[in-house]
Amino acid sequence: MKPLTISFNNVFIKACSSVSGPKEKEGPLGEYFDYSFSHERANQKSFELGEKEMIEKAIEILLKKAKMPVDNISLMLGGDLSNQIAISNLVAKDLPLSFIGLYSACSTMILSLNLASVFVSSSYCDNVLCFSSSNYGTSERQFRYPLEYGVFKKAQTTITVSGCGACIVSNEKSRIRVNSATFGKVEDIKWDDVSDMGSPMAYAAYKTIKGHLENRKLNSSDYDLILTGDLSTLGTRILRELFEKDQNPLFNHLDAGNLVYSSSDKTKFMGGSGCGCITLASFGYIFKKMIKGDYKKVLLVGTGALHSQTSVQQKLTIPVVAHAIELEVVK
């Protein structure tokens, strides 16, 4: 079965913002972020409030950059990793915008961009605000262990990125155009090892990228960059091998999980993960490179592992998904 790909011709990324935590600021992309907090808690009482503060900061910077009053926006889409996307809803309650909360684990950013493009393309909305966020503090305690727990982490572990980003998808012409969007199918490869999420997500990324390329009748070499979300070092290897098995190697591929943290930083194990990973890498770094002229045509592929702590403890398999969005620089 092929995934659903929708093409657009009047959808643009008007502006975007990126806000990171301290560890991401120290990473190779640190200088590109709009703002960085010196602690994951962002001077708040709890990690949850800190994550809320980060999202609010990203939206505030975004509106300033876009020079757009909030009244011009018709809809907001977004989500995070907390249970019942509680943090996103706390952000939404303080804004005068219709809101659709989304959860697609670490692929939430791309899913919200995809849906925003559909709303804009069909002329229901002129401007849609998208955001997504993850935070080391809130995610570790929810999906893994307390932060100070001295449990031995396996080599294939990834570390949740603290960061968020927001952007405005608009029908008003700007430099980055959305060409098409692919909505991935939820895949089950019978995976149950929660310490390695990169490997199963590589399978979802493989399916979605392959489907997208087939639907668009393109080759991976037609893109200047294919950026996956958080496959990490291990998942990246597996993704590339999956394509090699098809006698159709994947060209120009990078993974955001390997970009956000320095590869020499052994405390980050296989790299970064979480919604914030592809968000920071694309909104902070890739979009700037696109406008500079380094990349013309880019495919962003968000990857998510759709498990909960309960489902993992019940030894259920971990469903995975990947969504893709194709962007191109226009004159």
Partner 1 sequence: MDRDTFYEIVKKNQIKNNIYKDGFLSFLGGGILGILSQGLVDIYSLSLGLDIQMAFSLSSITIVFIVATLTSLGLYNNLGQIFGAGLFIPISGFSNSMVSASLEGRSEGPIYGIGSRIFSLAGSVIIYGIVSSFLCAVGYYLLLLMGVVS
Residues that bind partner 1 (CB under 8 A): 45-48, 141, 145-156, 189-190, 199, 203, 206, 234, 237-238, 241-242, 245-246, 270
For residue 195, the minimal CB distance to partner 1 (Å) is 11
For residue 307, the minimal CB distance to partner 1 (Å) is 17
Pairing of strands 35-36, 225-228: unpaired
Cα angle, residue 240 at apex, residues 234 and 244 outer, rounded to 5°? 140
For residue 153, the minimal CB distance to partner 1 (Å) is 6
Tokens of 215: 């639907």
Which is closer to partner 1, CB of 71 or CB of 148?
Answer: 148
Which is closer to partner 1, CB of 117 or CB of 228?
Answer: 228
Contacts of 250 (CB under 8 A, 6+ apart): 209, 220, 226, 239, 240, 243, 244
Which is closer to partner 1, CB of 70 or CB of 147?
Answer: 147
CA-to-CA separations, 33 to 19, 28, 165, 236, in angstroms, rounded:
6, 11, 9, 24
Amino acid at 196: D
For residue 146, the minimal CB distance to partner 1 (Å) is 4
Amino acid at 229: G
Which is closer to partner 1, CB of 165 or CB of 184?
Answer: 184
Which is closer to partner 1, CB of 93 or CB of 152?
Answer: 152
For residue 215, the minimal CB distance to partner 1 (Å) is 17
Contacts of 272 (CB under 8 A, 6+ apart): 24, 158, 159, 160, 161, 230, 232, 256, 257, 258, 260, 261
Which is closer to partner 1, CB of 45 or CB of 67?
Answer: 45
Q: What is the dihedral of CA 21, 24, 25, 31, to 10 degrees?
A: -130
For residue 142, the minimal CB distance to partner 1 (Å) is 10
